[in-house]
Amino acid sequence: MREAHALERQVGIDHYVSDGPGVGGRLRADPADFRVRELEILDPEPLDADVGSYPVLLVRATLTGWDTNDFAGALSDAMGISRERVSWAGTKDKRAVTTQLFSIRDAEAADLPDLSGVNIEPVGRLGRDLEFGDLAGNAFEIRISDPERPEAVEDVTADLRAFGNGSVAVPNVFGHQRFGSQRPVTHEVGLCVVREEWREAVLAYAGNPAETEPERTQEARETVDAVAASADPDWQAALDAMPGHLGYERSMLHTLVENGGSDPEDFRAALETVPWNLQRLFVNAAQSYAFNQILSERLRRGLPFDRPVAGDVVCFSDADAPEGLSLPDTDRLQRVDEGRVDVVTRHCERGRAFVTAPLVGTETELADGEPGEIERDVLADLGLSPDDFDLPGNFDSSGTRRAILVEANLTVERDPLTLSFSLPRGSYATAVLREYLKVDPRNL
C-alpha cells in the first residue's frame, strides 16, 4: 500500500488507494484549467413572481479568479446593500472558473451590476435566502499542466475502479485544505478545544510557527511561544510582535492582555474572539481528522469501502438527488448485523446505500464489530469520546455520520490531460486529484 505524502499524514490520511506513481504535473496554471459548476436542486419561482411572497432574487454567477466571500462583498458594495443580504450554497476556490448560485434579498434583476471577471444570470425568485448546502454537489473539469507521466492515468483509473467495485471511487476523506492549506493546524486547535485545553488551543493557533509562512510571521509566532513558556508571560510583547494582518491572532492576544492570561477562562475568552464559524471550524476539523484516521485504519486492515461488514452503520440515498449523482442521506441510518450484510450489500451495489463512519459528537452512535473497534480505537488514541463534544457556545457539536466512499463518475481526456467528474456536496475534489497527481497537497 503506497504511503501518502507527509503533509497528508499530518491530517490523518495515511495511504493512497492506487499503488503506482501519479501523473505529476500541476494544477491551475490558469483559472480556466480548474472549472467547477454547482449541481443545483432548487426549483425557483419565475422572475416575475410576486416579490411580497418571494422577496429573494436567485442568480447564477460564473466567476473567474474570485473568492466566494470576496465576490459577495463586491456584489453588495456595487448594489449599495448590506453584505448580509447576499447568501450562497457553497464556497468555491479563487483560482478557478466557478459557476454557482447566490441569493440577494429584496433585489431586482435590473439592480445587478457589471463586475470584472463575472457573468451574472438572473434565475428566479425564492421565499427564503439560500442556505449552505442548498446544492446536490459539484461538477469539475480540471486540466493538468505539464504532466510528467501522463500514461500513469490508466493504471490509477484501473486501481480506483477496482476499489469502487467497477466505478471510479476513492475514500471520502477531508482534503488538506480543510485543515489549512499552508499551515494545517485547525484540527490541532480543535482537539485541544474538545479536551477543554483552552490555553493549548490558543497557543496552537497564535503560536506554533510553520516553515511555509513568511519569516516575519514565523518570528511573531515564536515570540508567542517564548512568552507562553516564561514564568511571567508578557502578553503585550506577544501582541506587539504580531503583524497587523493576522487579525484573529491579535484579537486573542489582546484579550489575554486585558484579562491577564493566567486563568483557563482567559484563554477560552481569547478563543471566543474569533468569528463563530471559525470556532465551529476548529471542532469540525478535529472531527474530520478523526474521520480521516478511521478511514486510514479501515484501508490498512483491508475492510471494504463499497459494501458493509457486520457491525457497520449505513445510510441510504437521497431520493431527490439529480439523475446520475448518488447523494447520501445521513439522517437515514441503519446498523448492519450479520444477517443483513448480503441484503445491504445489494443496496450498496445499486447506489441505494453507503457505508459510513462517524464525525463524532454528543449524539453519535458508534458502529459494532470490527468497524466499531476501529472507531473506538482511533478516538481512544486521540483521548476523545462522544461526551467530550458537549461544549460551551459555538464549540458544541452533536455530530453525524458520513459516507466513507465517494464515486467520481470520472472521464479522462488525454490531450490535454483533463479529468472531468462530479461529486456530492461535502466531498473534496482533492480526494480524487491526490490519487492521480501524487504531489504535495498544497499544490492541489
Judge whether 342 counts as a catalytic residue.
no
Who contacts 44 (Cβ-Cβ below 8 Å, separation ≥6)? 58, 123, 124, 125, 126
Q: Which residue, 334, 398, 311, 390, is CA-closest to 360?
A: 398
Using CA atoms, how far apart are residues 269 and 310, in angstroms rounded to an integer? Answer: 45
Specify burial of residue 116 (Cβ count, 10 A radius: 0-12, 13-18, 19+).
Answer: exposed
Who contacts 203 (Cβ-Cβ below 8 Å, separation ≥6)? 224, 225, 228
Buried (b) or exposed (e) across 68-99, using 16+ Cβ within 10 A? beebbebbbeeeebeeebbbbbbebebbbbbb
Using CA atoms, how far apart are residues 212 and 180, in angstroms rounded to an integer? Answer: 11
Residue entry with cell 475492510: 303
Write down the catalytic residue from 14, 67, 93, 234: 93
- E strand residue ranges, 285-373: 313-317, 328-335, 353-359
Q: What three-state secondary structure class fits 126? A: strand
Which amino acid is present at 185?
A: V
Using CA atoms, how far apart are residues 50 and 27, in angstroms rounded to an integer? Answer: 45
What residues are labeled active site? Answer: 93
